[in-house]
Structure 1
Amino acid sequence: MTKSRSDNVNTRNLVVDILLAVTRDGEFSHIAIRDVLDKYRYLPKQDRAFITRLSQGTIERMIELDAIINQFSKTKVKKMKPVIAAILRSGVYQLKYMDSVPDSAACNEAVKLTVKRGFSGLKGFVNGVMRSIARNMDQVKLPDAQKEPVKYLSMRYSVPDWMVQRFMDQYGKESCEKSLEAFLQPHPTSVQVDTDRISMEELTESLKQQGITVKQNDQVERALFLSGYEALDEIEEFENGLLYVQDTASMLAVELAAPKMGDQVIDVCAAPGGKSVYAARMIGETGHVEARDLTEYKVEMIEDNIDRCQLSNMTAKVWDARVFDQSAEQKADVVIADLPCSGLGVIGTKTDIKYNASEEKIAELAALQQEILGVVCRYVKAGGTLLYSTCTMTREENEDNVHKFLEEHADFELEQMRQCFPYEGCDGFFMAKMHRR
């Protein structure tokens, strides 16, 4: 019997490649995973699912995995060679979170990988640490939840200490813990539906026939949650623009802005274009959405989505939101300012954020948001609406920014402001609707 190409591929070795790309080379995890899956498209579905689950899970739980390894290894993770750290992290993830993998297999494969990667001299070390953890997993110690609540939550939910402290200080312990727990829950894909071209019933039936699990979104009328599919670009309804991936909170923000039929809308930091698409579907053919972003690349993404969604009332334009555009002054009924932010509300789907964020970056972003708001508010007509939103959970970037803006712009007044939390069935997200007098 001839061997297929997939017989020669070691899936755990590919996971180590992904982990090194992320932890050593600074690659975004979704890009590192996508690159490997694209290169090995011929692998069976089961193998691809294993690679995705093990690499995503290991990255997501890395703080906890390191704490476990450090309890059983004389050499701490920070002092290990990156390859050995990656092998142990993915090995311990299998021991703790993958019931389908026998402990013996997780240990043996970690040792084989150590040899395969050219570290035969360390196979005894890896073997010892792995088997010790396998035998004593139920003896792993968490910090005391009462005496050291920050350290406890940090290890339990794999979030850096400083971030836990910040969430606790700003939103209280209960909301903090519920948010951290929600980040680790499975996230079905949230999609808006083009109900002008297809009914919800017809679409739901078609998706179910393709073996996709479909659930109605209780918070947004024309939105669904999808799960159980392998690739979005293999779903015909996605390819022809009947579906557009967008989080619930992002849709709620556009609904709060409430663009009406015939409105002129400017979305100042629009890529990849979800809010613009949603607004375009609300304003009809007599209205128009201009979706702007900073680079050619981002604007091309928006244009691809305009084409895919077959929108004739939406255009895209390269423009730096910090630079005032005189031709747009007081031309917009609605300005959507969903601005660059620290992204702490989307850790559940973009795990890297929790490892790359910092207090300094939060302060820099809050200042950038202020700068942009001061420019783009001038595009709002008298009587028009300014929607400010972020996908984060920091007061400096959210409520504080709104209050600062209103102090400096007496011609605007606040209509509504809302902080969404990830345990509310959406991303951690902030939105504020302001009205120009």
Structure 2
Amino acid sequence: MRLHRNLCFSVIDGLTLIFNEGKYADKVIQQLLKRDKRWGARDRAFVAETTYDIVRWKRLYAEIAEVKEPFDRDNLWRMFAVWATLKGIKLPDWKYFEGTPLRKIKGRFDELSKIRKFKESIPDWMDEIGRKELGDAVWSKEIAALNQQADVVLRVNTLKTTKEKLQTELFDLDIECDFLPDYPNALKLKERANVFSTEAFKNGFFEVQDASSQLVAEFLNVEPGMRVVDACAGAGGKTLHIASLMENKGQIIAMDIYDNKLHELKRRAKRNGAHNIEPRVIDSTKVIKKLYDKADRVLIDAPCSGLGVLRRNPDAKWKLQPEFIDKIKKTQQEILQQYSRMVKVGGQLVYATCSVLPSENQEQVEKFLASEVGANFTLKKDNKVLSHKSGYDGFYMALLERKS
């Protein structure tokens, strides 16, 4: 591979924003890709994937390059040189790469690869919490899997098309997809492609949604005609899946504390042809209390550490702090205690997170069931999805039924 100056400069500019200004990697990359209309698919892929790669391996590369935060541009070029050397890419004769110690880089990599926190490029506290909660052997496998680049998985919108039809339509655009045996509405791309520019996306035939995330709506056992509450709907990825499973019949109340996310859900619902969704902003406890004992199904896709989705959000490793996890666990229990009251007798509730930590998952469910409100519920089943076993994001979901 030959390095092109303008593409490399874009990567360095992006890393400056992500590392030094705290910007989110996905937003930065979106901006970078709009820089030059002459860039082809390969150029765009280089900028996006190289930026994500260096973000993912920040601690390892910084350690090898012997640089410390905050990184100035020279530091970032040194980290870039480490990335290129480890990828086997010949460094061009640019001033930024003068005196790069190629043999030393490879030697340091071999040395640091014996220590998990460097090998997997994670903060000390994250390595400690993962080891403590999952055990040494499982955590080693899990964090290695969470450092792999995520596959692109589509969820077919069955309100508008079928898996077979969508596969054929994308094949005609030279986008090849495979069916996934245990995921009824999923198609996995064989190679990365810009699916958002296709007519199929603009017509609402699919959403991009990880395979593990697609399990959650299925877990909720919804049926056409029910009243369903998606209590932490966000921009509505799972809400839209629920709408397709309900065949647009019945009512879905999509709730969130952020009005702007619900606006995005409205836009997506229109594109998807989902007509049975009613967004409601949670601006007071009254919004929740009005629905006490009235829902056939409630989904609590709870706010969490996001440790199960590091493959697609590698910068979260550097933004996340241990204090946040302590705080979010209190929030999760408060939400369970309050929102579960919307489930009517005989109704069901799914508690889900995109975390792999038992303290955010089964331990929260156990604590809830031991409480006064939770005593009215029984655990029907749960599913602990680990990335190193599934090949997709880490997730947890528990199905609870209200008995009285």
Establish whether TM, by shorter chain, passes 0.5.
yes
| Deviation readout 1:56-77 (Å, 9 max, x if unpaired) | 111111111112112xxxxxx1
- Show the counterpart of 1:396: 359
Report 1 or 2 for greater relative contact order, CA contacts < 8 Å, sequence distance ≥ 6: 2
Q: Is the 8 A contact 1:324 1:376 kept in 2?
A: no
Distance 1:92 1:9, change over 3 A: closer
Residue identity matched to 2:401: H
| Deviation readout 1:156-196 (Å, 9 max, x if unpaired) | 12122221222222212222122122123232212211234
| Deviation readout 1:129-178 (Å, 9 max, x if unpaired) | x2x1x133432242584xxxxxx111112122221222222212222122
Residue identity matched to 2:402: R
- Show the counterpart of 1:436: 402
Deviation at 1:320, TM superposition (A): 4.5
- Show the counterpart of 2:13: 17
| Deviation readout 1:258-295 (Å, 9 max, x if unpaired) | 11121110101112211111111112343111111112
Distance 1:345 1:144, change over 3 A: closer
Residue identity matched to 2:383: R
The reply on whether 1:135 has 2:120 as its aligned counterpart is no
Distance 1:90 1:323, change over 3 A: farther
Matches within 5 A, 1:299-314: 299-314=262-277
The reply on whether 1:85 has 2:56 as its aligned counterpart is no
| Alpha-carbon separation, structure 1, partners of 2:5 and 2:129 | 43
- Show the counterpart of 2:350: 387
Report the aligned-residue RMSD: 2.0
Give unmatched runs, 5+ long, in structure 1: 1-7, 71-76, 113-125, 146-151
Q: Is the 8 A contact 2:159 2:274 kept in 1?
A: no
Q: Is the 8 A contact 2:214 2:238 kept in 1?
A: yes
TM-score (normalizing by structure 2): 0.92
| Alpha-carbon separation, structure 2, partners of 1:299 and 1:307 | 12
Aligned match for 2:382, one of 405, 409, 417 = 417
The reply on whether 1:373 has 2:363 as its aligned counterpart is no
| Alpha-carbon separation, structure 2, partners of 1:246 and 1:343 | 15
- Show the counterpart of 2:40: 44
Q: Is the 8 A contact 1:323 1:375 kept in 2?
A: no
| Structure of larger gyration radius | 1
| Alpha-carbon separation, structure 2, partners of 1:162 and 1:411 | 37
Give unmatched runs, 5+ long, in structure 2: none
| Deviation readout 1:102-128 (Å, 9 max, x if unpaired) | 13x1xx33x25xxxxxxxxxxxxx623
TM-score (normalizing by structure 1): 0.86
Distance 1:284 1:354, change over 3 A: same
Residue identity matched to 2:68: K
- Show the counterpart of 1:257: 220
Matches within 5 A, 1:191-202: 191-202=154-165
The reply on whether 1:56 has 2:56 as its aligned counterpart is no
Deviation at 1:233, TM superposition (A): 2.0
- Show the counterpart of 2:185: 222
Q: 9-18 vs 422-431, which deviates more?
A: 9-18
Equivalences, count:
396
2:249 aligned counterpart, secondary structure: coil
Matches within 5 A, 1:170-181: 170-181=133-144
Deviation at 1:315, TM superposition (A): 2.2
Residue identity matched to 1:127: E
Q: Is the 8 A contact 1:284 1:313 kept in 2?
A: no
Q: Is the 8 A contact 2:149 2:312 kept in 1?
A: no
Residue identity matched to 1:142: E
- Show the counterpart of 1:102: 90
| Deviation readout 1:332-351 (Å, 9 max, x if unpaired) | 10100001111010001001
The reply on whether 1:155 has 2:143 as its aligned counterpart is no
Sequence identity (%): 27
Q: 423-432 vs 219-228, which deviates more?
A: 219-228
Deviation at 1:45, TM superposition (A): 2.8
| Deviation readout 1:315-368 (Å, 9 max, x if unpaired) | 222224866523212111010000111101000100111111122110100001
| Alpha-carbon separation, structure 1, partners of 2:284 and 2:133 | 29
- Show the counterpart of 1:362: 325
Deviation at 1:51, TM superposition (A): 1.3
Q: Is the 8 A contact 2:233 2:301 kept in 1?
A: yes
